[in-house]
Amino acid sequence: MSAGTQEKSLLRTVWDAFSFSEIRTAMRVVFRHMFVKPVDAHRGALGLLRYDDGEERCVGCDLCEAACPSRCIKVVSAENPDRPLSRYATEFYIDITKCVFCGYCVEACPVNALAMTKMYEYSTADKRSLIFDKAKLYDVGEQHIEDAKRYLYAHNQEKNDADSRAYRYKFPHQVAALTPPQDPS
């Protein structure tokens, strides 16, 4: 190593020590991350959603129950007597004390009936009140509808366009017409 490069190296070391180069480098990283738009991916309490006309979205397929790793969801479904080949959830329960807020149930739902909200605070003295039934889940979904929609849009579960709004999970008309008539008795 020549004397000139050794002298430059020594000067560089002294300059770095006096100018706090490590701190400048660290602050550059901090400022770069400080002005980034935050991601709106929240995972709060689950809520059930309805279509814009008030009809329930949940078709009682039990896919959310099957996808749940903590087994905190219980769905009881039945056939809809008014429409053949159609099911609906007669009962829907989520035990929030067991929920790990993973979002698998939201991803598994074919009709986007479940969504995560920004409702984080639901502390109570009675643990039994943290078992949300169908009515409570619809209340949560209606109170936090904007957060729930934002969650679905952010995770590409639902699009904010006319095609998604017109989509309904139902059989084509020719399949519904082929079903035998129900016995009235």
Name the pTM for this structure: 0.64
Asked if 100 contacts 45 with a C-beta cutoff of 8 angstroms, the reply is no
Mean pLDDT of 131-143: 91
Mean pLDDT of 80-108: 88
Domain 46-166 in CATH 3.50.30.60: no
CA 108, 109, 111, 112 torsion-angle sign: negative
Q: Is the pLDDT of residue 183 over 60?
A: no
Q: Which residues contact 54 (CB under 8 A, 6 or more apart)?
A: none
* Helices 3-19 and 21-34: angle between axes, nearest 10 degrees: 50
User: Which region among 21-25, 90-94, 153-157, 169-173 has the lowest average model confidence (pLDDT)?
Assistant: 169-173
At 128, list the tokens: 């039994």
**What pLDDT is recorded for position 165?**
53
**Which pLDDT band holds residue 65 (cuts at 50, 70, 90)?**
very high
Q: Is the pLDDT of residue 63 over 80?
A: yes
**Which pLDDT band holds residue 57 (cuts at 50, 70, 90)?**
confident
